[in-house]
Amino acid sequence: MIEKFTNDKVSEILKSAGLRLTDARVGVLSVLAESEGALSQEQIAEKLADIAPNKTTIYRVLESLVRKGIVHKAFTRERSVYFELGDNCSEKQCHPHFTCTSCDRTVCLTDVEVPLAGIGEKGFEIHHQKVEIQGLCPGCSVEG
Residue 84 contact, options Mn ion, DNA, its own copies, none, Cβ 5-8 Å cut-off depending on partner type? Mn ion
Residue 108 contact, options Mn ion, its own copies, DNA, none, Cβ 5-8 Å cut-off depending on partner type? Mn ion
- The interaxial angle of helices 7-16 and 23-34, nearest 10 deg, is 120
**Binding positions for Mn ion, 67-86, rule CB under 5 A:** 74, 84
Least separation in angstroms between residue 127's CB and Zn ion is 12
39 touching Mn ion, by CB under 5 A: no
Whole-Å CA distances, 81 to 7, 66, 78: 26, 12, 8
Rounded-to-integer distance, Cα 131 and Cα 100, Å:
14
Binding site for Zn ion (CB under 5 A): 100, 102-103, 137, 140
